[in-house]
Chains A and B, each alone.
Chain A
């Protein structure tokens, strides 16, 4: 397809990329304001009221508790996990993770600050932690609320620092245990000395900043790990807060990425690393590449990535500026970009709920469906988070689950969600919300032969709706 997008297609495309899928209301708003004004509004989420979702979230009380309170109020149940009888109330930290997952899904569906929620999801994968690892069962709530969300549309460096100092990340990537082998401190229970743990230092450069080809060596990993010794947590399952422990810090000189960090810097060493990495051209390129992959296409043109990286460097990592550069680029509205992305499961499920105007309540079943499609929220075990490329999400098993979700949703067989098919209007206008003037011949003729709820289910299960 090489004809330019129609105005209708542009609006659908814009909403597909900057939100969890268009609704009729969004389309009207975008038409009224124009895409540019709409985007500027979305880039300043603090100016957008969000009472509907806030009401929905009011029932999730763990979302407002501190890590310390969560640990106290939701201790591990006495019986081992997995032994709970069917129908029995979920207990302990599983409740905490479940509420976190529900909040993420409800926000994706109902928030008016859609671009912000898209970015929260993006950074959650970029700075992934695994919520089921040990103390992270209680620490992830604060990670999401206090580290990711405040900076999702802020400055990259602030986000990087917030994650570096978050107990959840310190625990997930083991930095809280990393200590100079020469430190005089000995630790309970065995009264032994600790040593360097490279885990965080490596992922910090490979996944959070420079990228694997960003030009660092094994020596750099070791030096960065030395810089971060002493960045730890006060009792992960007790007080839970970040603090710097000078007694286990390696106070010697470090040389990393060609920069000398003189001896005796203490906690400053880690801050200097954060600063160095946040300003590094490789970081600008790597983060821009990932953003371009999210907003443009799996394999974005290098010229566009470079343009975004320049904006990143010029503005000291101002995330809205980088996004503006991408979304206002000619590549964004090019015919090749139209529906070039495959929806991740969260994007697929949320967009189906949004486009059908489903009434969503707290629901295990919806979350279970997400899990079976391959994206159980907050539960990606490897530090890479969930992938953002088409072939990762189109395996036969995943397609089957998506088709089953579509039919179950429209038949109102998923407890916690309710679709009123009658309110969706005629099938032709519904189809225009999904792929205006872009349905395949096979889909069009199949649609001609179906009516009512089956037509809706068919459109949600069709290949067209799997893309955005």
Chain B
């Protein structure tokens, strides 16, 4: 018997039935529950290129402090406005403090010197590469989250319109492709203003030969119908998410997860990382972005309660920033960065990845943190070990994951 059926039988007080064959209606109910309570992957894109060296500080690398005279984060010690020690080598930026207890519980893992191997320092190209999942190859037509959905759909019947949802107005490249995907900015406002025209508009959009509109329309009308069925059952969260677009989007993802609408992949983004000028140190511009990130994620973690056992969140950012601070107390476009993985299935409490070092001869192209973990390695592990999708070659073509897995999930 699979775990969720066992859980169902136990939680309904019908455990004795497990001794024999349970009645058919109970099997159906348990299966339905299992389908609803599927595994979820959430991807957070930090657009603008986060400075990973100041998010997770390699405070024991002696070169770090010589490269960053005005923006460095002081090494851990008593008192505030210093890095928070993780393992004696790395420290969390103080604005990431809300994540520390999750790290200690073993539900937050960090991968340092991670990112995309392509050397583009264009925001646009680098984001594109990361979203289509083929760094250096521009003509890939679809995003890797969409390819993940396509493959999962082959294993399942009766797909939900909520399988892949972006909490953005625009459908991001990462979710664009052949599999239906939804965009949604507000659950409450996701309805037609004129109910009288609903049936007609549905006909126009689902019946048109204009495939772009048929595709969007089919997802839209299926999702609106499903949402109306369940909306009264969607619990309102007691948790207060940080104000702003990112916190709001996480709150909606949590509601969709709890409503069991069949969500498998969710995407959201957080902007404002392009800190060329006055980046700040323990306080300031970047610290404010980190605070928003950390408070959002920590609230999401608390909000989901036990359901966090089904959820893995990973963060992506197009590239890191220059190891040395520039002349404007900021940093320019760089290379290697930091990724976070958060959730019940994550083997956290650890900083993964080999540290490449910051000495001049170790820097990528003489200026940036080098890369020791391809972002696709991290994504692949979540897709295979968490979502159970083994056909990675379709999702990340031409990519061979490192011979030794990081072991992030388990």
Instruction: Mark B256-267 against chain A: 1 for CB-CB distance below 8 A, else 0.
Output: 000000000000
CB of A463 within 8 A of CB of B125, answer no
Does A241 touch B at the CB level, under 8 Å? no
Q: Which residues of A contact B183 (CB under 8 A)?
A: 395-398
Does B404 touch A at the CB level, under 8 Å? no
Q: Among the listed B124, B182, B184, which residue makes an inter-chain contact with A382, where contact means beta carbons less than 8 Å apart?
A: B124
Expressed in whole angstroms, the minimum distance between the Cβ of B363 and any Cβ of chain A is 13
Q: Which of B20-28, B194-202, B344-352 contacts A (4 or more CB under 8 A)?
A: B194-202
Does A235 touch B at the CB level, under 8 Å? no
Docked complex: B123-167 residues within 8 A CB-CB of A = 123-125, 166
Docked complex: A441-468 residues within 8 A CB-CB of B = 442-443, 446, 449-450, 454, 457-458, 461-463, 466-467
CB of A399 within 8 A of CB of B169, answer no
Closest to A179 in B: B327
How far is A174 from B326 in the complex, measured between Cα atoms in Å?
12
Closest to B176 in A: A391
Expressed in whole angstroms, the minimum distance between the Cβ of B124 and any Cβ of chain A is 5
Asked whether A458 and B200 contact (CB < 8 A) given A197-B327, A382-B124, the answer is yes
CB of B276 within 8 A of CB of A457, answer no
How far is A387 from B128 in the complex, measured between Cα atoms in Å?
13
Instruction: Mark B47-86 against chain A: 1 for CB-CB distance below 8 A, else 0.
Output: 1100000000000000000000010000000000000000
Closest to A405 in B: B193
CB of B197 within 8 A of CB of A199, answer no
Asked whether A206 and B122 contact (CB < 8 A) given A381-B271, A442-B207, the answer is yes
Q: Which residues of B contact A221 (CB under 8 A)?
A: 121
CB of B277 within 8 A of CB of A174, answer yes
How far is A178 from B194 in the complex, measured between Cα atoms in Å?
53
Instruction: Mark A344-383 against chain B: 1 for CB-CB distance below 8 A, else 0.
Output: 0000000000000000000000000000111000000111
Q: Which residues of B contact A411 (CB under 8 A)?
A: 194
CB of A197 within 8 A of CB of B197, answer no
How far is A104 from B327 in the complex, measured between Cα atoms in Å?
37
How far is A439 from B209 in the complex, measured between Cα atoms in Å?
11
CB of B216 within 8 A of CB of A384, answer no
How far is A212 from B129 in the complex, measured between Cα atoms in Å?
13
Asked whether A400 and B220 contact (CB < 8 A) given A198-B332, A212-B122, the answer is yes
Q: Which residues of A contact B89 (CB under 8 A)?
A: none
Expressed in whole angstroms, the minimum distance between the Cβ of B154 and any Cβ of chain A is 23
CB of A457 within 8 A of CB of B197, answer yes
How far is A129 from B326 in the complex, measured between Cα atoms in Å?
22
Instruction: Mark A190-207 against chain B: 1 for CB-CB distance below 8 A, else 0.
Output: 101111111100100011
How far is A194 from B243 in the complex, measured between Cα atoms in Å?
35
CB of B169 within 8 A of CB of A218, answer no
Does B100 touch A at the CB level, under 8 Å? no
CB of B327 within 8 A of CB of A193, answer yes
CB of B327 within 8 A of CB of A218, answer no
Q: Among the listed A192, A199, A399, A413, which residue makes an inter-chain contact with B213, where contact means beta carbons less than 8 Å apart?
A: A399
Q: Which residues of A contact B332 (CB under 8 A)?
A: 197-199
Instruction: Mark B346-373 against chain A: 1 for CB-CB distance below 8 A, else 0.
Output: 0000000000000000000100000000
Q: Which residues of B contact A194 (CB under 8 A)?
A: 327-328
Closest to B328 in A: A177
Does B170 touch A at the CB level, under 8 Å? yes
Point out which of B201, B219, B272, B330 has the most chain A C-beta atoms below 10 A from its C-beta: B201
Does B39 touch A at the CB level, under 8 Å? no
Q: List 23 A-B contacts (CB under 8 A).
A: A196-B326, A197-B332, A198-B332, A212-B122, A373-B169, A374-B169, A383-B123, A391-B212, A394-B212, A395-B216, A396-B183, A396-B184, A398-B216, A399-B205, A403-B197, A443-B204, A450-B200, A454-B196, A463-B204, A463-B205, A463-B208, A463-B213, A467-B210
Closest 9 CB pairs of A and B: A195-B327, A396-B220, A395-B183, A395-B171, A194-B327, A463-B213, A374-B169, A397-B183, A407-B194
